Amino acid sequence: MPDLPIVDLSVHHQPHGLSDRIAYGFTKTLRFCADTFFAKRYGHRAIVLETVAAVPGMVGATINHLKCLRRMCDDQGWIRTLMEEAENERMHLMTFIEIARPTLFERLVIIGVQWVFYVAFFALYLISPRTAHRVVGYFEEEAVISYTLYLKELDEGRSPNVPAPTIAKHYWHLPQDATLRDVVLVVRADEAHHRDVNHGFASQLAGMADSAAAAPYPDHADDIRMVA
């Protein structure tokens, strides 16, 4: 295995002010819905939630791109960072689709949720990009918790630790004998990185000093469309 980034599981941004409290409340409401709907079906949970997780980066990239065109200003690297986040989340989806198959009902939920979430997140980003990034920061805190629980399921034998999908071995440069556990570890490290980046963006927009460095990002293949 390549060296895995250490994931600090204790990171939590204390809500400051109304914007943060709205973001935190919204995230906790969605967490409750996800826990009720999926319980411990972590493979299915990952698929449905990754179809949602890949949306904010593309929305943020689009809106920042348009803003920079209008204002003819530099983006400070935000657009590429957000596009990379969207692509990375889509690779999580492409990985977990090899682990579990969504039911017909889940596919219908995905379609409905995408309509609602894309429009709602786009509107939120236009109104308050700070709140939008804080929402993503809190979503990612929850993702880190969920993947930690998934690891526990694997370690305690309640979910089979199957071989890692080929696409995952290629994308994260994992060895040939890598397992699902190895995949969940690198996915969790990705989520921790997104968590810190988005909390950092939200704090920057709020004019708060946020000196904490983002959790390290695992190594990813550049040619992600090529499956070995």
Instruction: Report the nearest approach of Fe ion to the CB of residue 89 (Å).
Output: 5
When CB distances to Fe ion are compared, the closest residue is: 92
Report the b/e string of 164-173 with b at 16+ CB within 10 A.
bbebbbbbbe
Q: Which of residues 67 and 117 has its CB atom nearest to Fe ion in the complex?
A: 117
**Shortest distance, position 94 Cβ to Fe ion, whole Å:** 11
Least CB distance to Fe ion at residue 144 (A): 9
Considering the complex, state which of residue 20 and residue 89 has its C-beta at the smaller distance from Fe ion: 89
Is residue 175 within 8 A of residue 1, CB to CB? The reply is: yes
Least separation in angstroms between residue 69's CB and Fe ion is: 27
Residue 163 β-bridge partners: 179
Mutual orientation of helices 42-71 and 78-96 as an angle, nearest 10°? Answer: 160
Helix axes 42-71, 129-155, angle to 10 degrees: 160
CB 178, min distance to Fe ion, A: 18
User: Contact positions toward Fe ion, by CB under 5 A?
Assistant: 50, 53, 89, 92, 140, 143, 191, 194
Rounded Cα gap, residues 29 and 26, in angstroms: 5
Six token digits for residue 182? 């190895």
Q: Which is nearer to Fe ion, 50 or 196 (CB)?
A: 50
Residue whose CB is less far from Fe ion, 18 or 135: 135
Q: Which is nearer to Fe ion, 50 or 68 (CB)?
A: 50
| CA separation for the pair 74, 206 (Å, rounded) | 19
